[in-house]
Amino acid sequence: MEPKVSSSLQEQALKRKERLKALRDKKTHGQQPDEDEPENKRAALEPSSEEKHRELKLRSYTPEDEDLKERQVPKAKPISVEDKVKDQLEAANPEPIIKEVDLANLAPRKPDWDLKRDVAKKLEKLERRTQRAIAELIRDRLRGSEEELAAAVGAVGAEEGDSD
């Protein structure tokens, strides 16, 4: 049993060497199909007849031969991209939602704005009391000035009566 195993190993090694040699030859000498390769693999390596005889299209070359001039492709006209660019620019610039900007909302608030807001109600009450107190003081002065005025008028009248 030992001799059969070693002989099969040797056969496999020889086959491997032959395949490697064939691969090296392909790389150095070009594509030549091996006899060991299956039919479908050979067909894949060989270009088909359609691929071999492609129609010649001359885009940037102006031939002198009449037959080749028929194969010349007409020059393509560049399309106008101005319309596309304008559309994209218009799409990129959406219309403003707010037409007029309120500067009070835009400006940053002062650091003590919340304190002023909280104290505003108390200040209104104090303002009313202050106005009442000022009105009372003015009334008192007017009453006092009326009395002084009456006293002054009475004193002037008494002097005039004394002089008669």
Place of tokens 């496999």: 12
Quick: pLDDT tens for 106-150. Answer: 777 788 888 888 899 999 999 999 999 999 999 998 888 888 877
Closest alpha carbon to 68 in 49, 82, 55, 80: 55
Domain boundaries, the chain: 1-51, 112-163
SS3 58: strand
Single-letter residue type at 54 = R
The reported pTM is 0.27
> Is residue 23 within 8 Å of 37, Cβ to Cβ?
no
Q: Residue 72: beta bridge partners?
A: 58
Q: Which helix (H) or strand (E) holds 127?
A: helix 113-163
Per residue in 77-98, pLDDT (tens digit) is: 888 888 888 888 888 877 767 6
